[in-house]
Structure 1
Amino acid sequence: MKALALPNARLAVMLMLTATFFIASSTLMAKLASDPRFGTPLHPLQISHGRFLFAFVLISAVVTATQQKISRPNLQLHTARSLLGWSGVTLMFAAVAFIPMADATAISFLNPVFAMVFAIPLLGERVGPVRWSAAAIAFLGALVLLRPSPASFEAGALLALGAAVFMGLEVILIKRLANSEPPLQILFVNNAIGLIIASLAVLPVWQMPSPSQWLVLAGVGSAMAMAQFFFVNAMARAEASYIAPFAFTTLIFAAAYDAALFGAWPDVVSGVGALTILSGAGLLAWRESHLKSAASPSE
């Protein structure tokens, strides 16, 4: 089936940046759900379940209001994508319970690098030296933020790294789906399958959330639903190897939340890392613009 969204690199970037704001917001609320101030800390599997539950409710309401028809979804591809997404999100929620949110985000959002690499064999995309260089710059920025040391290999860091791998693979499947199905259908089917997976996984650890925790879980799901909407629309308008690295800007929002709510103000090292990541993303944007103006298929 023909792609349902016209290529538009600049719009794709704006959509991705909006998605990163909601991704960071969802991670923030997941961290709050494991905060003792809101009651007995919830297990990551229960936070993940809340994410899928409330996201599904919100997206179902939109599907009903817009009378979106669900037509011949690729259930095999959707199931694989949902399993990867559930795994990545759950590992990320577990990671932020152990280490600062900005650090967990820095590690987990190495997923654009994994996505760019996976796009070569799985999507047949061509990645030239400029994109490799831009990804390397962004990766270096993430390493600066991570501050590599023996402590970087603690449980929380390894959980975040696992999240990065799963999310990188998920990006590839999102791209394949975005080329054949409308974004709202992708979101509806993904969250429906994800809710089934999360509901089965949460059974052994389920506990009744407090009223404030219910509100936090609703926030997790709503923010993630918005993030998915903008993310899928971004992926439908540009190559995965080009648009995925812009997800690194989630680190900026995560650092801002850490500073505003937890008093963890970014230091010089954090600033250097953030600017390095933005430099890599900016190089990708410049290269894409140059390629389109020159009407050249090469990279």
Structure 2
Amino acid sequence: MTPARHNPPLAALLIVAASAFIAGTTLLAKALGTDTLGPALHPMQISHGRFLFAFLAILGAVGVLRPRLSRPHWGLHIGRTSFGWAGITLMFASVAFIPIADATALSFLNPVFAMVLAIPLLKEGVGPWRWLAAAVALTGALILLRPTPASFQPAALLALTAAMMIGMELIFIKKLSGRERPIQILLINNAMGLTIASIAVSFVFQMPTPQQWAAVVGIGLLMACAQACFVNGMARADASFVAPISYATLIFAALYDFAVFGVIPDAISQLGSAIILTGGFILVWREARVRTA
């Protein structure tokens, strides 16, 4: 397989597109999880739609491209998909109750959780700068949680737990990287996710309205597009260049939430999000310094 040519401008464009698509999935999940398009659907039914239609889109791409597939590492795929399914389901549950921008900001904690989990699971060392980044980001999360009796948002704990699950998923992704082709990883991930989601949705399924069917299909297609853009963007530039651009998801989430639901982030949301992003930038800056040292 010929490596993708290094092209930072194209990589930036692809990551911005991926960010817009990802924010779009949370917007549709919020519409489905509330009574916007009909009786609210259960988060497990929303995540089932995400895996179903993303799988069909990726299966179509595999049929056209016909890539050479290798023997997969089933244990790593099962671990990655299980945590990924749990993470996306909890994220979809959270956006029905809290602003999309808040849930998105909390989701940016997943690299921090992955960093902490890498210590026992991957035997990685963590220096003072990484710990500083983690402390800053978690401080922002604490602000977003609004830990006072009058303003505490229990649903924010769903987004926080989702970030933990996705952080664990990143550990498995790291173990898979270099072992298998990206399109094979996407195909197996979505096939397994669809299997898990199909079992879960059997307990909560309700017939969607026509508008809800359209939104469910949209979630799957947007997620497939986001994954394709992200994988191709990562292949065309260094991770330290790409990572900060992915924070554009927060901007798109806030814009979508305002345009569709009229939600304007308050001062606490803006402060917490800014602090989480600061922690993320510290982590990205440190990783870039380490690679160039």
Range of TM-score over shorter length: 0.7 to 0.9
Alignment of 1:98-137 (within 5 A): 98-137=97-136
Who is 1:216 aligned against?
215
- Residues 91 and 199 (structure 1), Cα distance of their counterparts in 2 relative to 1, 3 Å cut: same
Who is 1:85 aligned against?
84
1-side partners of 2:277 and 2:10: how far apart?
A: 17
- Residues 277 and 213 (structure 1), Cα distance of their counterparts in 2 relative to 1, 3 Å cut: same
The answer to which of 87-96 and 97-106 deviates more is 97-106
Alignment of 1:15-26 (within 5 A): 18-26=17-25
- Residues 194 and 36 (structure 1), Cα distance of their counterparts in 2 relative to 1, 3 Å cut: same
State the shift of 1:141 in Å.
3.1
Kept after mapping to 2: 8 A contact 1:178/1:232: no
Who is 1:156 aligned against?
155
Unaligned runs of 5+ in 2: none
Taking only aligned residues, the RMSD between alpha carbons, in angstroms, comes to: 3.2
- Residues 168 and 243 (structure 1), Cα distance of their counterparts in 2 relative to 1, 3 Å cut: farther
- One-letter amino acid of the structure 1 residue matched with residue 279 of structure 2: G
1-side partners of 2:10 and 2:172: how far apart?
A: 21
Who is 2:258 aligned against?
259
Who is 1:30 aligned against?
29
Kept after mapping to 2: 8 A contact 1:141/1:277: yes
- Residues 152 and 239 (structure 1), Cα distance of their counterparts in 2 relative to 1, 3 Å cut: farther
1:276 counterpart = 2:263: no
Who is 1:39 aligned against?
38
Kept after mapping to 1: 8 A contact 2:110/2:166: yes
- One-letter amino acid of the structure 1 residue matched with residue 166 of structure 2: M
- Residues 12 and 138 (structure 1), Cα distance of their counterparts in 2 relative to 1, 3 Å cut: farther
State the shift of 1:7 in Å.
9.9
Kept after mapping to 2: 8 A contact 1:234/1:243: yes
- One-letter amino acid of the structure 1 residue matched with residue 124 of structure 2: E
- Could you list the per-position Cα deviations for residues 66-87 of structure 1 after superposition, in whole angstroms to 9, with x for gaps in the alignment? 1112210111111111111111
Kept after mapping to 2: 8 A contact 1:50/1:218: yes
- One-letter amino acid of the structure 2 residue matched with residue 178 of structure 1: S
Unaligned runs of 5+ in 1: none
State the shift of 1:28 in Å.
1.0
- Residues 289 and 205 (structure 1), Cα distance of their counterparts in 2 relative to 1, 3 Å cut: closer
State the shift of 1:223 in Å.
1.7
| Count of aligned positions | 291
Kept after mapping to 1: 8 A contact 2:15/2:230: yes
Kept after mapping to 1: 8 A contact 2:244/2:281: no
- Could you list the per-position Cα deviations for residues 176-214 of structure 1 after superposition, in whole angstroms to 9, with x for gaps in the alignment? 112211111100000001111111111122222121111
- TM-score for the superposition, normalised by structure 1: 0.83
SS of residue paired to 1:99: coil
State the shift of 1:230 in Å.
4.1
Kept after mapping to 2: 8 A contact 1:137/1:279: yes
2-side partners of 1:148 and 1:133: how far apart?
A: 22
1-side partners of 2:119 and 2:233: how far apart?
A: 19
2-side partners of 1:117 and 1:246: how far apart?
A: 23
